[in-house]
A and B are shown apart, each in its own frame.
Chain A
Amino acid sequence: RKEVEQDPGPFNVPEGATVAFNCTYSNSASQSFFWYRQDCRKEPKLLMSVYSSGNEDGRFTAQLNRASQYISLLIRDSKLSDSATYLCVVNQGGGTSYGKLTFGQGTILTVHP
């Protein structure tokens, strides 16, 4: 089983649609959770951190379910500029293992007019 698993997609949605991505992780001791965005041939950039209480940033909402070891990202009112690969990222260690992140393979999103 992969340590961090995502549906690779691709997801093809029209502008204005709502789309949700899911991610599961294998280590119940995981401490930190993130969604990164990666545009074609560019570096990954932090989209948002994911907290147990859930968090929202504009059109983006992230949720964490520790019991099910499951993370989600919801994008509302999709824009053409949201087209990218979305990476689920987990720190599966604890204590002083800062930055030892495990990346999912990414979910490809294409938003069309």
Chain B
Amino acid sequence: DAEITQSPRHKITETGRQVTLACHQTWNHNNMFWYRQDLGHGLRLIHYSYGVQDTNKGEVSDGYSVSRSNTEDLPLTLESAASSQTSVYFCASSERTSDTQYFGPGTRLTVL
């Protein structure tokens, strides 16, 4: 069955380190998204991509980057982790002209 996976599921890191969160989908969806979820804020869009080599900034993109070298993967990199980036991160994907998104299981990141 097609699916969307994230790894690692849990990560503890230190302030200043570079961290990369993986997202992989097997639906062959063109669109992929990264969100963070924090108490009091709901889900907020970090970056998104509408296809290979396409990336766009979302609402809370500062301190994050993404690259899209193939259809299946959209890794999220925290260039220099900060305590404010402690959060739960969700990856999602959708078909090219659809707003219906399917979410991965999430990555719980703690920055000490």
Contact = CB atoms under 8 A, between A and B. Distances in A.
A99 B33 contact: yes
B31 A99 contact: yes
Contacts of B33: 99
A90 B35 CA distance: 15
Given A43-B106, A87-B42, A101 B90 contact: no
Interface stretch (B14-22, B64-72, B75-83, B92-100): B92-100
A106 B102 CA distance: 18
A17 B58 CA distance: 39
Decide if the interface of chain A is mainly helix, strand, loop or mixed.
loop
B48 A99 contact: yes
B57 to A, nearest CB: 11
A105 B99 contact: no
B26 interface: no
A49 B100 contact: yes
Interface of A: 31-32, 34, 41-46, 49, 87, 91, 98-101, 103-106
A48 to B, nearest CB: 10
A42 B33 CA distance: 17
Contacts of B35: 103
Given A43-B103, A44-B90, A45-B103, A98 B45 contact: no
Contacts of B96: 98
Interface residues of B, number: 26
A81 to B, nearest CB: 19
Given A98-B50, A106-B42, 5 more contacts: A34-B100, A43-B105, A44-B90, A101-B101, A105-B40
A82 to B, nearest CB: 19
Given A87-B42, A105-B41, A98 B31 contact: yes
Contacts of A105: 40-42
Contacts of A42: 105-106
Contacts of B92: 99
A49 B58 CA distance: 23
A101 B31 contact: no
A103 B101 contact: no
A44 B100 contact: no
